[in-house]
Amino acid sequence: AAESFNHKKFFEMVGLKKKSPEDVKKVFHILDKDRSGFIEEEELKFVLKGFTPEGRDLSDKETKALLAAGDKDGDGKIGADEFATLVAES
C-alpha cells in the first residue's frame, strides 16, 4: 500500500539483515543501476523492484525518507558503506 514502506521491516522481511557483508554489497550493486558507486534518489524509488518484479515504486515521500535514513554524510546519495550501515541499523 502507498506510504506503507518501512525500510527496517523491509530489510528484515527480505532477510537482508542476516546476510553477510559481501551479500549486502552485492545487493547494493544490484540497486546501483547506473554503476555510479552510489544509490541516488531516482534509483531508490525502484528499490522494491530490485527484490521482486511485482514490487511497486516508492512514493516521493517514502523515497526521501529512505534517502534521509541512509545518507549519513549529507551528499544526497547512499554509498556502499552507508547502505551497509542502513541495513545493519534496521
Binding residues for Ca(2+), as ranges, are 32, 34, 36, 38, 43, 71, 73, 75, 77, 82
Contact 13, 26 (CB under 8 A): no
With b for 16 or more beta-carbon neighbours within 10 A and e for fewer, the 22-59 pattern comes to eebeebbeebbeeeeebbebebbbebbebeeeeeeebe
What residues form the annotated binding site? 32, 34, 36, 38, 43, 71, 73, 75, 77, 82
Contact 61, 53 (CB under 8 A): no
Reduce the DSSP state of residue 77 to 3 states and report it: strand
